[in-house]
Structure 1
Amino acid sequence: MGAIAYEQDYYGWTQEQSNLMKARKVNEIDWEHLIEEVESMGLRERKELVNRLRVLLMHLLKWQYQPNYAGRSSWERTIKVQRKEIFYLMKDNPSLKPEVPASMERAYNFAIDDAESETGISASHFPQESPWTFEQVMDVNFWPESVE
């Protein structure tokens, strides 16, 4: 195994493991931690999808339930940015596609709480399941109709 300890110098460990792989020194690679890191990289992408959907869905809820709010232009910008970020995340990680339904569900559950916190509107006032599909929320022409 390499000389740099995973737990003591993570960055140094990553550089060492990279160099060992480039040199094809397979017997010196810290396989246990390397496998753990590769698996966690995939989880990070899924978490990013959930977090970006969470922000997008919360802003769509605020857009729908607070149509006269003065800060709508900043919401519009956030919605556009999140759509673009999610688009590129999915383009760069097409294997995330099967994760979309579960990610939407998880993100929406958080978005309801976030929207309640930011608007003062009770979470019970919002639909308990997302009223929109992934395709709808990603559609640049989709803006939910107001509910007052």
Structure 2
Amino acid sequence: MKAAELYDTDFSEWSFRNAELLRSGQFDEADLEHIAEEIEDLGKSRRRVLESAVIQILMHLLKYEKQPAKRSRSWLASIAKQRVKIRRVVRESPSLRPQLPEMLTECYPDAVKVASIETGIATAEFPEVCPFTLEMLLDDEFPPT
């Protein structure tokens, strides 16, 4: 079976076969179109990891502000974990760092939706525009405890 045919029938075998073909310089036999697609998807997945971490931090910061009586160490721990994740991804893929400000704006509405569900507070009660800066998002001393 040709390498390209394996893509839809046995992805694992497709991966190993194409890696072998590339390493041995048999580029004409390799499934270059799908390889290029998978490489692009890898880059997109790193961005999705960052977006997820940004949403989690924003959601917890919103809850932290709106529900001071319910503040917990678990919220702060979750924020800390997501900051670690962001730092690792940016260290491994520095080209994503300049995209963080845009992500903050793009992810804020999703964070509001999740915070609304978790708190029972209507989305209209949250600020329309993200009240947090990127610096705040990444600052280990924010929010002050």
**Do the aligned partners of residues 56 and 8 (structure 1) sit closer, same or farther apart at CA in structure 2, a change above 3 Å counting?**
same
1:4–1:12: 8 Å Cα contact kept in structure 2? no
Answering whether residue 40 of structure 2 is matched by residue 66 of structure 1, we say no
2:33 & 2:96 partners in 1: Cα distance?
25
Q: Percent of aligned pairs with the same residue?
A: 34
Higher relative contact order (CA 8 A, sep 6+): 1
Shift of 1:4: 5.5
Partner in structure 1 of residue 109 of structure 2: 109
1:4–1:16: 8 Å Cα contact kept in structure 2? no
Shift of 1:22: 0.9
Partner in structure 2 of residue 78 of structure 1: 78
Shift of 1:101: 2.1
1:104–1:134: 8 Å Cα contact kept in structure 2? yes
How many residues are aligned here? 144
Shift of 1:29: 0.7
Partner in structure 2 of residue 51 of structure 1: 52
Shift of 1:54: 0.4
| TM-score, with structure 1 as normaliser | 0.91
2:144 & 2:6 partners in 1: Cα distance?
52
Letter in 2 for 1:96: L
1:21–1:29: 8 Å Cα contact kept in structure 2? yes
Q: Give unpaired runs (5+ residues) of structure 1.
A: none
2:144 & 2:51 partners in 1: Cα distance?
20
Runs of 4+ in 1 over 2 A off after TM superposition: 1-4
2:4 & 2:130 partners in 1: Cα distance?
50
2:4–2:31: 8 Å Cα contact kept in structure 1? no
> Which is helix-richer, 1 or 2?
2
